[in-house]
């Protein structure tokens, strides 16, 4: 059979991949032709290779399978690099396949810049942002390489892989040997029983424990095991940005979203904890602020699949290199069940915190002009009981979403965390709609991210993708304007000066998508149900005032309890159970 047939059939048969996200090009045409002639896998042509890569990320996150993105050599492969990096940094298993120019026109070690038309050494470009990347020129090693690349993408901490195959090799014949040989994933590390016993003793001594759930808890099994662990121990949960959906946000044991733009009440609770159990979180600076001040009164347990992340930014008392699901399963069996009122004082303290610093009180923009964006997002999620995948873009909308959305059981929240890819949510939403066809898809973005991915509206229309779109439109690039206010007051290069937004209603009409523009909170209450109940794509434009900011935001050089805009030292001390770090 042809090399292209082998590659596509193997991925379809053994990995259960149902859709490949592609952009057609000469050197990739053989791969697309194999999909065209195959049954059980379809190609989804996006309008840009970058969006094909991000759609594959969305598909992988939604389906739990490996994502597949295909492009040609040269500009096709370089256009996918952002998606490759996104998958790498956010630990998403995506297989990138690129067709290269023929071996006869590839320069190999020739010092000339280029020999073949649209030739480029994509492998050298992506080596640092993939778990495996290789130009494969020997047809006989294709089956083994294919299994190896899938193994790398899915084992341990998942990530991106890229295989580059020359056009002439793609069209060669190879035997069907190994077609039924499934990939055996590497045996994951597991915490020992002795380590689990230490965890149990640390929990027993704690009076103010918190679980910090990070983006590593993505799979349904890990979600389920975390809920079982929390139900048994009654330890409250806070989440990182990528862990926002790790635990139901409407559960009384959910203490909020922490970090750089975290809920103020969640950050203060974290600062006052006496035990942090971080599971699947990198404990990076956007979560912890200044390392020496982070949760300074707490013992720290860090459970991570990636050994390189342990004791990297934050030194911990108990490092645990383990698969997260296996750790939680062992811990659930070993830990004693807690009495219902064991942490009653801790829970009462948090209730006071949340009442004082409620997300709708901790606002930083005019609430009487246009739509209150945090209120809108909170209302949208509270009114939505459907199985849903929310996708947030990058900018103010990402911060508002993380602070305000109430993610319920069987709902998911995807965003671009490590790379912060603006224009993520629309193409990733397309991929998610194919990866989880039984879920409602709601892509949330600002007017900037919308313009970055606007061409994928045609993909949505063409394939009738049920992607509903919320565009938070303030007419500027708001998050960057805040950065300019903080560093270059009054100078708004490319955020206000030179930036503009088209008439989104006319854009929607051009693509034949229903559209509604909301300009008041009262309108929002009326049209949210219509938006949620509509079958098919819908664009809900939410006009909010340009003075709105994504605050609260961590202050540099201080503890996680210090956020801008500042509150008085006297007020902060009312809620501190440990000595404060004086503000600067």
The sign of the dihedral angle between the CA atoms of 238, 243, 247, 248 is positive
* pLDDT computed for residue 396 by the predictor: 96
DSSP for 34-69 reads HHHT-SS-EEEE-SSHHHHHHHHHHHHHHHSS-EEE
Q: Is 232 a residue whose pLDDT tops 90?
A: yes
Comma-separated ranges of CATH 3.40.50.1220 domains in the chain: 193-356
Q: Within 10 Å of residue 319's Cβ, how many Cβ atoms?
A: 17
Residue 63: which of 466, 442, 435 has the closest Cα? 435
Q: What is the mean pLDDT of residues 4-24?
A: 97
Q: Is 324 a residue whose pLDDT tops 60?
A: yes
Q: What is the mean pLDDT of residues 163-185?
A: 96
For the chain, the C-alpha Rg in angstroms (whole number) is 24
CATH topology of domain 373-543: Rossmann fold (3.40.50)
Q: What is the C-alpha to C-alpha distance for residues 167 and 163, in angstroms, rounded to an integer?
A: 13
Distance in angstroms between the alpha carbons of the first and the last residue of the chain: 69
- pTM beyond cutoff 0.85: yes
**Counting every residue, how long is the chain?**
584
Q: What is the C-alpha to C-alpha distance for residues 544 and 510, in angstroms, rounded to an integer?
A: 24
Q: 372 with 230: CB under 8 angstroms?
A: no
Q: How far is CA 69 from CA 7, 19, 79, 160, 190, in A?
A: 13, 9, 12, 11, 32
Q: Which CATH superfamily is domain 3-170 in?
A: Thiamin diphosphate (ThDP)-binding fold, Pyr/PP domains (3.40.50.970)
Q: 147 with 178: CB under 8 angstroms?
A: yes
Average pLDDT in the chain:
96
Sheet order of strands, 299-304 included:
254-257, 237-239, 209-213, 275-279, 299-304, 318-321
CB contact set of 351 (below 8 Å; sequence gap of 6+)? none
Tell me: cis bond preceding 552? Omega within 30 of 0 counts: yes
- 418-452 pLDDT, tens digit per residue, is 999 999 999 999 999 999 999 999 999 999 999 99
Q: Is 556 a residue whose pLDDT tops 90?
A: no
Q: Which helix (H) or strand (E) holds 218?
A: none
pLDDT band at 238 (very low <50, low <70, confident <90, very high): very high
Q: 3-state class of 304 per DSSP?
A: strand
* pLDDT computed for residue 518 by the predictor: 97
* pLDDT computed for residue 226 by the predictor: 97
Q: What is the mean pLDDT of residues 556-564?
A: 92
Q: 209 with 229: CB under 8 angstroms?
A: no
Q: Which helix (H) or strand (E) holds 477?
A: none
* pLDDT computed for residue 82 by the predictor: 98
Q: What is the C-alpha to C-alpha distance for residues 82 and 80, in angstroms, rounded to an integer?
A: 6
Q: How far is CA 512 from CA 449, 462, 467, 539, in A?
A: 20, 11, 14, 11
Q: What is the C-alpha to C-alpha distance for residues 59 and 68, in angstroms, rounded to an integer?
A: 8
pLDDT band at 583 (very low <50, low <70, confident <90, very high): low
- 263-319 pLDDT, tens digit per residue, is 999 999 999 999 999 999 999 999 999 999 999 999 999 999 999 999 999 999 999
Residue 257: which of 566, 560, 556 has the closest Cα? 560
- DSSP label of 364: -
Comma-separated ranges of CATH 3.40.50.970 domains in the chain: 3-170, 373-543
**CATH number for the domain whose boundaries are 193-356:** 3.40.50.1220
């Amino acid at each position: 059979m042809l090399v292209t047939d082998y590659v596509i059939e193997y991925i379809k048969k053994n990995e259960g991949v149902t859709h490949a996200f592609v952009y057609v090009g000469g050197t990739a045409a053989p791969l697309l032709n194999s999909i065209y002639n195959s049954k059980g896998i379809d190609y989804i042509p996006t309008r840009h290779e970058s969006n094909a890569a991000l759609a594959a990320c969305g598909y992988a996150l939604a389906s739990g399978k490996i994502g597949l993105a295909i492009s040609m050599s040269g500009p096709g492969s370089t256009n996918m690099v952002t998606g490759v990096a996104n998958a790498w940094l956010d630990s998403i298993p995506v297989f990138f396949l690129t067709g290269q120019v023929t071996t006869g026109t590839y320069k190999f070690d020739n010092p000339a810049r280029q020999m073949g038309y649209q030739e480029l050494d994509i492998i050298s470009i992506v080596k640092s942002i993939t778990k495996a990347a290789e130009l494969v020129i020997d047809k006989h090693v294709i089956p083994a390489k294919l299994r190896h690349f899938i193994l790398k993408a899915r084992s341990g901490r998942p990530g991106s892989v890229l295989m580059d195959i020359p056009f002439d090799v793609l069209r060669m014949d190879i035997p069907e040997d190994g077609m039924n040989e499934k990939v055996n994933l590497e045996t994951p590390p597991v915490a020992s029983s002795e380590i689990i016993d230490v965890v149990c003793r640390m929990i027993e001594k704690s009076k103010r424990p918190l679980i910090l759930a990070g983006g590593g808890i993505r799979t349904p099994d890990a979600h389920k095991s975390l809920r079982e662990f929390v139900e048994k121990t009654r330890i409250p949960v806070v989440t990182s940005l990528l862990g926002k959906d790790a635990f139901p946000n409407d559960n009384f044991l959910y203490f909020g979203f922490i970090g750089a733009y975290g809920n103020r009440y969640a950050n203060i609770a974290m600062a006052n904890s006496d035990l942090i159990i971080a599971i699947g979180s990198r404990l990076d600076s956007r979560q912890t602020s200044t390392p020496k001040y982070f949760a300074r009164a707490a013992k720290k347990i860090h459970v991570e699949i990636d050994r390189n992340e342990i004791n990297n930014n934050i030194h911990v008392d108990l490092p645990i290199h383990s698969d997260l699901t296996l750790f939680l399963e062992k811990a659930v069996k070993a830990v004693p069940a807690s009495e219902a009122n064991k942490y009653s004082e801790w829970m009462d303290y948090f209730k006071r915190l949340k009442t004082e610093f409620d997300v709708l009180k901790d606002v930083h923009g005019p609430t009487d002009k246009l739509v209150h964006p945090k209120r809108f997002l909170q209302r949208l999620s509270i009114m939505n009981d459907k199985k849903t995948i929310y996708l947030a873009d990058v900018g103010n909308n990402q911060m508002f979403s993380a602070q305000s959305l109430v993610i319920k059981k069987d709902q998911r929240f995807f965003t671009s965390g490590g790379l912060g890819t603006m224009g993520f949510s629309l193409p990733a939403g397309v991929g998610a709609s194919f990866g989880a066809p039984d879920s409602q898809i709601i892509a949330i973005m600002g007017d900037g991210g919308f313009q970055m991915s606007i061409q994928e509206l045609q993909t949505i229309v063409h394939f009738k993708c049920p992607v509903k779109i919320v565009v938070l439109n303030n007419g500027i690039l708001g998050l960057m304007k805040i950065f300019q206010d903080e560093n270059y007051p009054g100078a708004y290069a490319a955020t206000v000066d030179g930036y503009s937004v088209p008439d989104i209603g006319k854009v929607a009409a051009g693509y034949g998508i229903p559209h509604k523009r909301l300009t008041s909170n009262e309108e929002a209450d009326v049209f949210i149900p219509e938006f949620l109940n509509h079958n098919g794509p819908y664009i809900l434009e939410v006009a909010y005032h340009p003075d709105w900011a994504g605050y609260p935001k961590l202050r540099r050089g201080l503890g996680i309890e210090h956020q801008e805009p500042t509150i008085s030292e006297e007020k902060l001390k009312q809620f501190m159970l440990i000595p404060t770090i004086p503000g600067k």
